[in-house]
Amino acid sequence: MWIRSTMAYRASFAMTTIANFAVTGLDFVAILLMFSRIDVLGGWPLPEVAFLYGLSCVAFGLADLAIGSMERLGQRVRDGTLDTLLVRPAPVLAQVAADRFALRRLGRITQGALVLGYALGTVDIAWTPLKVLLMPVIVLSGAGIFCAVFVAGAAFQFVAQDASEVQNAFTYGGTTMLQYPPTVFGKELVRGVTFLLPLSFVNWLPAAYLLGRPVPLGLPRWVAFVSPLVAVACCALSGLAWRAGLRSYRSTGS
């Protein structure tokens, strides 16, 4: 329904998609401006940073396209409109994710894919069949991890009700952090996004293997292949959190 509504005004859709493309591209423009003054950032040259940026942006863009509307759950909890979703013969999670589905978010995915294509064309990677197969796995696993963060953040809004910005700190803030090398952050932060909120499995750990760089925190190189398992575990845990939050929902008060 939302896609048909969007495509009814094709010029508007084109303009909003281009605007989304341009606005999200400003993040990479900031990186380019930094590299106009420096040669490396945290020991990483521009092509390798672009590789991190592209992986993070595409993975997050896919998650944002599929399930980004979850951040609006707090508003539905506050005004009681979540009740209308509970009586429909469809999973509430799917209904919330599809609410106001924004096809314009394809602009972020396109922009990230272009940067990733540039990085793959310029970065020095000793390609093997295993590394080639790992590339799509990294992107899909990263999207799964971000989807889990979106759902967990929505589950938290059952309790906090007005916590969309808290959720955004881990979703939009998380993808922005992953666009930069782990060497520019403190070890405590890197440990936190590896063992507590495992965002580093989106790109930092697998990218270190692909680029032949030391794995952050001195972890073994095989952790680059753990991303799919981490994504599955994160989705399972966020699903449990969602079910617990939905059971605790008691509609709005007066």
- Can you give the pLDDT at residue 159? 84
CA angle 102, 105, 107 (to 5 degrees): 145
* Count of CB atoms situated within 10 Å of the CB of 23: 12
Amino acid at position 52, single letter: L
Structural contact between residues 57 and 128, judged by C-beta atoms closer than 8 angstroms? no
- Can you give the pLDDT at residue 78? 84
Give the integer Cα–Cα distance in Å for 13 and 59.
Answer: 22
- Torsion-angle region of 221 (φ positive above 0: left; ψ -120 to 50: alpha; else: beta): alpha
Paired strand residues for 45: 40
Structural contact between residues 61 and 147, judged by C-beta atoms closer than 8 angstroms? no
- Can you give the pLDDT at residue 80? 84
| Mean pLDDT in consecutive groups of 10 residues from the start of the chain, 254 residues | 85 90 92 95 95 96 92 85 89 90 89 96 93 96 96 89 80 94 95 95 96 93 95 96 91 65
- Can you give the pLDDT at residue 99? 86
